[in-house]
Structure 1
Amino acid sequence: MLTTSIPSLLLFGAAVVLGQMASPSGLGDSAEALAKQPSAPPPGVPSQMEDCDPDRVGFELITGFVLSAPNNVLESIPGTLMLSDCLESCQANESCYAVNYETGLCVLFSTNADMATGALTKSQFPVYTIYAQKNCLAVKPCERSWCVDRVQNYRLASHVKGHQVVNSRQECMELCLGETEFSCRSANYNNATGDCELSDMDRITLAGTNAFQPTKEFDYMENNCIEEPTKLCEFKKLTGRILKTVDSVFQDVGSLEECRELCLNSPYRCHSYDYGDTGEMVCRLSHHSRATLVDIQEPFLDVPEAATYELSSCYNVSIDCRSGDMVARIQTSKVFDGKIYAKGSPNSCVQDVNNSLEFELHMGYDDLECNVRKNGLGRYVNDVVIQHHDKIVTSSDLGLAVTCQYDLTNKSVTNEVDLGIHGDIEPSMSEEVTVDSPNVAMRITDRNGDDIMSSAEVGDPLALKFEIIDKNSPYEIFVRELVAMDGVDSSEIVLIDSRGCPTDHFIMGPIYKSAQTGKVLLSHFDAFKFPSSDIVQFRALVTPCMPTCEPIQCDQEESTGELRSVVSFGKRRRRRSISNESTSSAREDLLLVQSIQITDKFGFENETNPSPSNSAGTSNGGETAFMPSGSDAGICVNMAGIMILGIVFVIAQVAIFTIWSLLWQKKRIDHKLAADNMSFNVSIPSGLNSKHSDSLSKLYTSGYAHSRRF
């Protein structure tokens, strides 16, 4: 806050100007030069202003200059807090041709800088003065307080839209004010050659560039009558500085927000304001900002506790609801270089914008790529994003929900009523709001979607549940690119492909809506795991859509080899390469991750999962060794189990060999061959009977088989 109250600050400014008027040396002119100033306007000029239609009177401003003509002072009005009031006082006085204005003082003159050559000089510190000259124009100016800002010896060096040689600076000014083929925002006039350059840009729209350059013999003129956007405006805070001279001072303003609204609704193009820094509840407005004060020396007063709020950019959004499409038209106050696109289709329904102040996006009702949704009878909605950067979304970007409403209700008509439709259907409603994406959770549950599972065994019936947390959300969701990964060596398997269809119906079924609500999706599967880890991690891309999501038809192969069509809630992205799709998904889709621990059913009580480093470990006294194989993968073997199994196998083999030897000796004693009673296709010597064959069969179905089962 300044320690000086606002009245004392205003009186200080008034003293400076009056001192300049009283002291020729303070104005930078000699007394001899001032003595040569005419006491009355030259012949012919006054009669031109006297005969001028009041509707043709317009003011041009030069900031940082003061008219030094004390013999032509008509009136000094101290305590003037509004530049517009000072200009109105001059316009009401037929003898007034120019004014000097500082915050708190207005001085009226009976001459101007064109009449009194050399009388216009740079204003002195610590404040700067605004000089305004009254002109009789050939075209009708706007109803704003002034129509032109002029900067001497400066030129806008680009974006020239028209060129013509004229006889005077005022004629060049009138060409810009009367231009109808394009919006003329500024003009350059060469005082030596008479060249007049018209442009559709100005210092504000090209702020941050080097287009505005000092150039001798040129006058830069900026059209204050141009219409600028006043909605969706963003102001940036400039800490520690306030302007020395402002255009308007309002007292008893209740809040910073009220001061901001005064700026946006001012009778001129307001580009900055400060609040409460020059007095309690004092709001000061100015048509200047850092972009328009590059030619002024030290225009700001350094006050650590103060702040100036400068207008960064504004956007006017309008929706044109036509018979076959909706068109979002954007007008901005600063050159825009980026893109505008439908939120659900950033690559297929997009318009690239290159250094433009006006741009638009067409979204056809029958264009699937633009994803226009029907929401009720005659109501169509879509989400639009205005993105400044070409690749990433930043905090400066805007999200808009646009709506077209058509009246399709029945109506009673009588004769002589023209029912023909001429041109496009007029819109009955348009809306502009910001839309946030829904919060979505992925959980592993039982088949009913109720109990959340943190662990399971291979083969357990489970389900993946995708749910929108906010029950009142207008969105629904679809799922694609569902991948299962292990927790060790990043092995993965695709369960739901990019189209939204299952890749293997024996592992993961199609995704379907819950019977209770459309906000929940489920997919059944039997628990499975990877060989190298008990942890299975699921990763999926979930995309919101509004008001409903359309399912996709997938082909499922039956065990007989026949194909059967099933419905899955995924959606195929058209006209998009895989690389583009992944880039887009990171921007518009929700990436969900969930894990579960799944154990197998092999019954190895002492089995221990290998660590990520593939090192050996022990558990419950059992010994586990990692045995390398020919490939990068390894086989985990329980050594104690192998030793026991080997001993049992050897004992079984010895028993079988002993029994076989006894039977063979007995058969050799028996001289009677019973080959036709043999039950097995083996070569056996003669002399065996059928009962011994039965014994051999029992051997294979008892001990041997038992040992194999073990």
Structure 2
Amino acid sequence: MATTEQAVIYILMALLLPTIRSAQLPSNNSPEVAPDVRIDCSSNDIVVAIDTKSGVFNGMIYPKGLSKNSTCMSEFLHQRSPVRYRLPLRSCNTMSTDLDDGGVEYFNTIVVQPHLKLVTNQGRGFHIRCRYQTRDKTISNNMNISMMEATPLNALAPMPGCTMKIFYGDPQLHEVAENVKIGDPLTLVVSIDDQETFGLRVTDCLVRDGLGWGEQRLVNEEGCPVDKEIMGQFHYTNSKTTASVHFQAHKFPYTASVYYQCNVRLCVKAGGGCDDLPPSCGSNEVARRRRDADGNNKDGTPATTIEVYSGLYVNEATDAKVDSTDDVAKEKTPEDPNSFCISQRYFAIGIAIAGLILMLAVIVTILILLALRRRRKDASATGSSIYSGPYTNTAYSHSS
């Protein structure tokens, strides 16, 4: 994939780090990092130029999520402004996406932290995007088109565009895989533009961690799988312009980003250079005869090789996406028709309401008992009272 063409660039800046309430900060504590950055898109990396208000930068810059023991993190001590940080296109969590106009866009998020050890509220996050527009090229191949006379013919044809995409499940659904979990079914598809001149042969496939710490070979130089448990053999269409392979998502244990790289060798259909596809991986002798020792194709034409890349994020099974299915729908479709299902959230709410009702009932019962006890006490005191007023016995009254 050619990436030396003119790049169309734009930046979307976003504050990503957690903020601290303004009441906790002095009124004159303003961010050290300038609000704008400048970027330069090259064929292999993105150069980010960052200005500081003081003119000197002491701190670290790293892609989001790679701040611990990462080769992608850079530390700066008394670095004069502007500070330049190089962000590789095919590692350090940089990902790419194909555009509708035929170009490709690389994107990543970097964190600029103006402290060598601490994460502070002065840190800023910048979402970096570089858009590349590819152009058509022409390549030359010497072909023998006559079996009677070995007359070389210099044939010119436009170089077909070549892409690698990773789809979730069936590639016919066109669901590009971006965030998956270990074990998810994926399909890696390598294709060139439909035309009558060239076919493709996929070789030398690798998976890398994007940090420069580890890689695993998947397909050898003949196009045969190295370990079928990880990735099998590519299947080719009749036109020899598309090759695909099904595999399950995998990752390195210390990072979520994985990068796939393959070499695509163009073969000339008219010269018979694509007739041995797919390769016969069970026969070493056939594999050795496939091309000359100088790297030419089977028909003797120079092998044109294109490197293709793609990447995605693979999470652990326990870090799977939260199921967005509505809880009410789950309750209406239990696995056992005789069972009753309720979500944990509604169960907790029900328990809380039941507890509140029980507490209110206990309080009301206590109040009623106290009221009844008081009433009984008052009634008892009234029934046992003795009259102590003046007493007159009319039987012994005497009048003068």
Query: TM-score band, normalised by the shorter chain?
Result: 0.3 to 0.5
TM-score by length of 2: 0.37
With a CA cutoff of 8 Å and minimum separation of 6, indicate the structure with the bigger relative contact order.
2
TM-score by length of 1: 0.22
| Structure with max Cα Rg | 1
